[in-house]
Amino acid sequence: MSLLELNSITKSFGAIHALQGVDLEVSAGEAVGLMGDNGAGKSTLMKIIAGNFPPTEGAIRIEGNEVTFSQPLDAREAGIEIVYQDLALCDNLTAAANVFLGREAKKRIGPFKMLDYKTMYQKSGELFAELKSETRPRDLVRQMSGGQRQAVAIARTRLSDPKLVLMDEPTAAISVRQVAEVLALIKRLKETGHAVILVSHRMPDVFEVCDRVAVLRRGTKVADKRIDETSPEEVTGLITGAIAAA
């Protein structure tokens, strides 16, 4: 059984059909690359899975149960965590504070509940260690490199041990060495049984970490193939429309 199953998802904004009857399945421990040109419908599909808005038609199933999301929190509660393209981090807070943002660890002293710094530093330290990242929990995000910032955003998704991690262009704006770090993080997610959907423009990244690649063009899915059965050339052809479908 698939972890996430999208059934003929259609999304219309007035007369514009952003998505038309898109099916997609992702299993646990699997990474699927979602590719397509600008305006192909990647972001729209992402936002539907993330709960930013509902599809016009079609169904979302998680482990076989149909779900409806009316806000991003619903998706999070259903086990879907998102790493946004801009990472959605608070620069003025520490790495640990960002990991725990919105679900801070607390301890009780008498009638007062207070933030439990020790637990938060320790737990986020463990998460960074699991990701083999040298990010330090007490550092301000403002002072961090692109790769470390990615690690914070990814560590945050792991706090709740989600089923699916959605990543939007995680390697778009960082240096080559940091890209390697992020790809290693994605592999770690797969090894620990998480499903990953990777939205990316970068062909080499998708081919390095993904098991399957799905290609969107003008709101429809034109291909969904195993990585070892396709090639960057074919995917490029599918994205641009040089190859109609595969």
Partner 1 sequence: MTDQTHDQASHAEIDESITSRQEVSGFAAILRTQPFWVFMAILTLGVVMSFVSDVFFTERNMFNITRNFAFFGIMALGMSAVICTAGIDLSVGSLVGLTGIVTGLIMQAGYGIELGFIGCMLTAAAVGLVNGILIAYLKMPPFVVTLGMMSIVVSLARVVSDNKMIYDFGPDMDLFEWIGGESVMGVPNVVWIMIVLTAVFWWVWRYSTWGRWVIAIGGNAQAAKLSGIPVERMIVSVYVVCSLCAGLAAFLFVGYTGSVTNGMGFTWELTVIAATVIGGANLMGGIVFALGAPIGAALIELIRNSLLLAGIPAMWQQFFVGLFLIIAVLLEQIRNRGGK
Instruction: Please say which residue, 76 or 221, places its beta carbon nearer to partner 1.
Output: 76
| Of 224, 216, 235, 200, the residue nearest 27 (C-alpha) | 224
| Of 188, 94, 190, the residue nearest 133 (C-alpha) | 188
CB of 126 to partner 1, least distance (A): 9
The string over 27-52, giving b where at least 16 C-beta atoms fall within 10 Å of a residue's C-beta and e elsewhere, is: eeebbbbbbbeeebbbbbbbbbbbbb
The CA-based angle 112-153-172, given to 5 degrees, is: 160
Residue type, 6: L
- Do the beta carbons of residue 196 and residue 16 sit within 8 Å? no
Could you tell me which residues come within 8 angstroms of residue 53 by beta carbon, excluding any fewer than 6 positions away? 11, 47
Instruction: Please say which residue, 94 or 178, places its beta carbon nearer to partner 1.
Output: 94
- Interstrand relation of 164-168 and 80-83 (parallel, antiparallel or unpaired): parallel
The residues binding partner 1 (CB under 8 A) are: 72-73, 76, 82, 84, 87-94, 97, 101-104, 106, 113-115, 121-122, 125, 136-140, 142-143
| Of 125, 204, 192, the residue nearest 165 (C-alpha) | 192
CB of 167 to partner 1, least distance (A): 14
* E strand or H helix at 194: none
CB of 142 to partner 1, least distance (A): 8
CB of 121 to partner 1, least distance (A): 6
SS3 content of the chain, % helix, strand, coil (to 5): 35, 30, 35
CB of 111 to partner 1, least distance (A): 13
CB of 156 to partner 1, least distance (A): 8
CB of 239 to partner 1, least distance (A): 29
Instruction: Please say which residue, 47 or 217, places its beta carbon nearer to partner 1.
Output: 47
Instruction: Please say which residue, 70 or 143, places its beta carbon nearer to partner 1.
Output: 143
**What sign results for the dihedral spanned by CA atoms 178, 183, 188, 194?**
positive
Instruction: Please say which residue, 80 or 210, places its beta carbon nearer to partner 1.
Output: 80
Instruction: Please say which residue, 139 or 234, places its beta carbon nearer to partner 1.
Output: 139
Instruction: Please say which residue, 76 or 217, places its beta carbon nearer to partner 1.
Output: 76
